[in-house]
Amino acid sequence: MVFVTTSQFDLGTFDGEKKSWFARFMDRIFNARQAEVDRLVEQYLDKLDDETLAAAGYDRDVLLKGASAY
């Protein structure tokens, strides 16, 4: 006896439908984690001196302009 199942778990949406509650939940979690990582990287880069930043390919002026208001 052979059982074949072709079910598929899809978190996406069809054309014109809004996202499911789970997809919206996961988007919010992802965005919150991304914002946290951005803050941590910004804090770390802020502690480095100008020579180290230049060696890594960063410019302090550009970092300060792109700094977000956390």
Residue 68 reports pLDDT greater than 70:
no
The 10s digit of each residue's pLDDT in 6-65 is 555 565 656 667 889 999 999 999 999 999 999 998 899 889 999 999 998 888 888 888
Domain boundaries, the chain: 34-70
Eight-state DSSP code of residue 34: H
How confident is the model at residue 3, as a pLDDT?
47
Task: Return the SS3 of 70.
Answer: coil
How confident is the model at residue 1, as a pLDDT?
46
Specify the amino acid at residue 39.
Answer: R
Distance between CA 39 and CA 68 in Å, rounded? 8
Contact between 45 and 53 (Cβ < 8 Å): yes
Task: Return the SS3 of 51.
Answer: helix
